[in-house]
Amino acid sequence: MKLVIASDIHGAADWCAKLMDAIERESPDRVVLLGDELYHGPRNDLPADYAPKRVIEMLNSIADRVVAVRGNCEAEVDQMVLDFPCMDDYATLDDGGQQLFLTHGHVWGPGFHNSIEHMPELVEGDALLYGHTHIKVLSQIDGITIFNPGSVGIPKDGSHSYGVYDRGTFKHREL
């Protein structure tokens, strides 16, 4: 199974367009969105390319391949305009026995860089995928892979990014 993993677009349309180009190039089976797709949030500056209506159009064009979870900036109105479910605190995917736990990082998380420290019950070989912090992470805790793709729209480390999961391997990619 191949996944493109993205988080924290925050309505940044030009960066979302670059993500869409990357999705086309990567040709994943599924696209995982780890929350905060449309709204910039009260703690973030407005992205220069803030155009959530354009982001809605782009994401809806791939709705049949999206698995999404709720970020701390999602609201009921987001679900009204997006053509895929986006209001659950977590989702899971199984890749041949490896469980991938998908979440934003404000309800479930490893405690890195301002994510909550509240790990789900996972076993060695599983993975926790989260966003929220806008900082890339690829680490291990007790044999569990911890992966944060960074942020598409408002990165805290200066590099707009996404992630790729392919046959058990996680990688970061810059946009």
Q: Token match 């996680």: residue? A: 170
Going by C-alpha positions, the residue among 173, 169, 162 that lies closest to residue 1 is: 169
Mention every residue, 6+ apart, whose C-beta is less than 8 A from residue 127: 98, 99, 100, 101, 144, 145, 146, 147, 165, 170
- Please compute, for residue 6, the number of CA atoms within 13 A of its CA located in the half-sphere on the CB side: 32
Q: Is 15 helix (H, G, I), strand (E, B) or coil?
A: helix
Residues 109-119, mean pLDDT to the nearest whole number: 87
Beta pairing class for 137-141 and 144-148: antiparallel
DSSP lists the bridge partners of residue 117 as 110
So what's the pLDDT on residue 62? 98
Q: How far apart are CA 114 and CA 106, in angstroms?
A: 9
Q: What are phi and psi of 57, to 5 degrees?
A: -55, -45
Poorest-pLDDT segment among 17-21, 52-56, 83-87, 108-112: 108-112
Q: Is the pLDDT of residue 57 over 90?
A: yes
Does residue 83 register a pLDDT over 80? Answer: yes
Calpha distance 135→121 (Å, rounded)? 23
**Contact call for residues 119 and 108 (beta carbons, < 8 A):** yes
Q: Determine the pLDDT at residue 165.
A: 98
Provide the pLDDT for residue 117.
Answer: 87
User: What percentage of the chain has pLDDT greater than the value 90?
Assistant: 91
Q: What's residue 114's pLDDT?
A: 76
- Each residue's pLDDT tens digit, 136-171: 999 999 999 999 999 999 999 999 999 999 999 999
Phi/psi region, residue 80 (left: phi>0; alpha: psi -120 to 50; beta: rest), is alpha
Domain span at 150:
2-174
Instruction: For residue 33, give the CATH number of its domain.
Output: 3.60.21.10
**Does position 41 have pLDDT exceeding 90, yes or no?**
no
Between vectors from CA 84 to CA 131 and to CA 46, what angle results, nearest 5°? 50
How many structural domains does the chain have? Answer: 1
